[in-house]
Amino acid sequence: MRKLKIYNLARKLLFLLPPEQSQNISHFFLKLFSGLYKSKQTRFSVKGLKIKNRLGLAAGLDKNARLINEFDNIGFGFIEVGTITPKPQYGNPKPRIKRLISHESLLNSLGFPNEGVATIKPRLQKVRDDICLGVNIGPNKDTVPQEIVNDYLFCYREVFKYADFVTMNISSPNTPNLRSLHNIENFKSVIDAILNERSKHQIQPKIFIKISPDEESKTYKDLIETINDSAIDGVVISNTSDNQNLKESLKVGHLPGGISGKSLKNSANKILKEIKTIINQEKIIVAVGGIFDVDSYNEKFELGADLVQMYTGLIYEGPNLVKRIVKNDNQISSNS
């Protein structure tokens, strides 16, 4: 209770600052204090992926892989870093994150700011073996469409040795043309290239595809059928939404970027339910979008998820939310 009050006060103060500035300050405090949260967790396997618990950190919060130990300390069962691109890039001009406080949501148009794979790679090499690490990769903003496949390949080759899973991000709304990779011809050429690359090496991380919540049913059907016929291991559902109706209902229809948090939950859950009915059983479904409490977490499993991730809930609720969810999940599994 006391911790919650302190967090609420800290959050009020942090929310007085622009979002990216307050995120930097939170990361500084995370470095200082995350050790206080540390508890021992034993690993177990979900469809071949060894995790500490079923709640993971979603991509985008630790873009440069600087805080892996800290996010492990606060209790996440697996951690996804990135999106990492071949070359470093600044991303879109600021301001590029907007808080929609009354909706407990965020609008972001960051555009993959990151230090580039060469700078980030040494941090991945140092990650402890007990941590389940996912690396999310994507193309640089100025890459021409016919070269995008080479950006994925370049990143994959640099990171595959250190990752338990590699997520191919084809769904950020903030990188021009990226979502056109949901079209089957484009998609197939990219996954064939990555799967072919994976098959050449002994170390073979799982490969996930991160999907947009804004596509037509037919697009999902074609995409999942292609995934079913391939050695892709799973999907991450979903990225942020740039659905115009949703953005207008939140009074941000005139702004660029994608919606995350509570306002994303319904569309992410709808796609999760739809995909669950068509995806092969052995594929891993990682569900993300609108996790703010134990109920929204459990709902993802009821809809068919194998694992769950969170981003915006952590910004609004703080690290105690991770503890609460994981504790409840451990109780459920020890009772069953």
Just list the catalytic residues: 172
Phi, psi angle pair for 215, to nearest 5°:
-100, 170
Task: State how far Cα 78 lies from the chain centre.
Answer: 11
Decide: is 165 part of the binding site for ligand FMN (CB under 6 A). no
β-bridge mates for residue 81, sequence order: 135
Q: Of 210 and 283, which CB lies nearer to ligand FMN in the complex structure?
A: 210
Decide: is 205 part of the binding site for ligand FMN (CB under 6 A). no
Q: Of 130 and 176, which CB lies nearer to ligand FMN in the complex structure?
A: 176
According to CB under 6 A, which one of 53, 73, 143, 169 is a site residue for ligand FMN? 169
What contacts 290, CB < 8 A, 6 or more positions away?
Answer: 260, 261, 262, 263, 264, 265, 266, 268, 269, 296, 312, 313
Binding mask 81-110 for ligand FMN (x = CB under 6 A): --x-------------x--------x-x-x
Q: Of 202 and 260, which CB lies nearer to ligand FMN in the complex structure?
A: 260
Cis peptide bond prior to 240, omega within 30° of 0: no
Decide: is 289 part of the binding site for ligand FMN (CB under 6 A). yes
Ranked by CB distance to ligand FMN, the top (closest) residue is: 60
- Rounded to a whole number of angstroms, the minimum distance from the CB of residue 82 to ligand FMN is 6
Phi, psi angle pair for 53, to nearest 5°:
-160, 175
Closest to 284 in 3D by CA, of 68, 51, 41: 51
Binding mask 59-78 for ligand FMN (x = CB under 6 A): xx--x---------------
Cis peptide bond prior to 334, omega within 30° of 0: no
Q: Are 285 and 272 in contact (CB under 8 A)?
A: yes
Residues near ligand FMN (CB under 6 A) are 58-60, 63, 83, 97, 106, 108, 110, 112, 136, 169, 172, 210, 239-240, 260-261, 264, 288-291, 310-313
